[in-house]
Amino acid sequence: MTPLAMMADSAEVLARPDLGEHLLTPLERERAGRFRLESSRADFVAAHLLVRECAARLLGLPVAGLTLLQRCPDCARDDHGKPYLAEHPEAQVSLSHGRGVVAAAAGLQPVGVDVEQPSKGTAAEVMERVLSAGELRRVREHAEPDRAFLRLWVRKEAMVKLGRTTLDTLTEIDLSGLELDGSPLRGRYGDLHLLDWEDELRGAAVGVVSTEAPRVEQL
């Protein structure tokens, strides 16, 4: 089964009556309640709902039957770390939230998703911490370096979500051979299939990575 990815405005997710907060676990509600900004709270909730919708479509199941849990492999706490479905541990899920925008992915194979919005003038130290030498060169030579950086960043962050690398070892992943211009773009890195695109309307870039080529659906 092809892994499935979705992206949406937080507001459009929250406007769906079948994707209400009643679907969240008590722990997710408690975590949502920790946000000081209402908009950040909304983004968190929307991402946790969209990933359920994504998994429900993938598995052909009603969204109300899915319980989303998390477990950190390092400290064994359950309020962060890799998300999974209580009822379907064989499914892999991933979620990401930005400012007013969310993305999610689900598959029966490893999958990771990331959504990011551009920040003007990404600091050189930040780029050096996450990009390989070849990628740095590509970004610096690019007519729109911030935009080029964002494309590489969503791909790499999606790989982190998939569990292929960590934030500390990102410079060891070298995607400098892949295209940076065009949307959507598909690429390969070893056994991984990469798909990423720019959403001009929402001002965001999304990256999806899986061991099979992912497909995208609208909410």
Which residue of this chain has its Cβ atom nearest to Zn ion in the complex?
72
Residue among 75 and 201 whose Cβ is closer to Zn ion: 75
Residue among 72 and 213 whose Cβ is closer to Zn ion: 72
Q: Are 191 and 211 in contact (CB under 8 A)?
A: yes
Compute the least distance from the CB of residue 168 to Zn ion, in Å.
15
Cα angle: 128, vertex 152, 44; to 5 degrees: 100
Residue among 75 and 123 whose Cβ is closer to Zn ion: 75
The site for Zn ion (CB under 5 A) is made up of 72, 74-75
* CA distance readout (Å), 164 to 12, 21, 117, 217: 31, 31, 23, 25
Compute the least distance from the CB of residue 112 to Zn ion, in Å.
18
CA atoms 15, 12, 69, 29: torsion sign: negative
- C-alpha to C-alpha distance for 204 and 150, rounded to whole angstroms: 9
Residue among 71 and 202 whose Cβ is closer to Zn ion: 71
Compute the least distance from the CB of residue 183 to Zn ion, in Å.
34
Residue among 95 and 152 whose Cβ is closer to Zn ion: 95
Strand intervals (E) in 52-140: 68-71, 82-85, 92-97, 101-107, 111-116
Compute the least distance from the CB of residue 205 to Zn ion, in Å.
27
Strand intervals (E) in 60-191: 68-71, 82-85, 92-97, 101-107, 111-116, 185-189
Q: Are 25 and 69 in contact (CB under 8 A)?
A: yes
Compute the least distance from the CB of residue 73 to Zn ion, in Å.
8
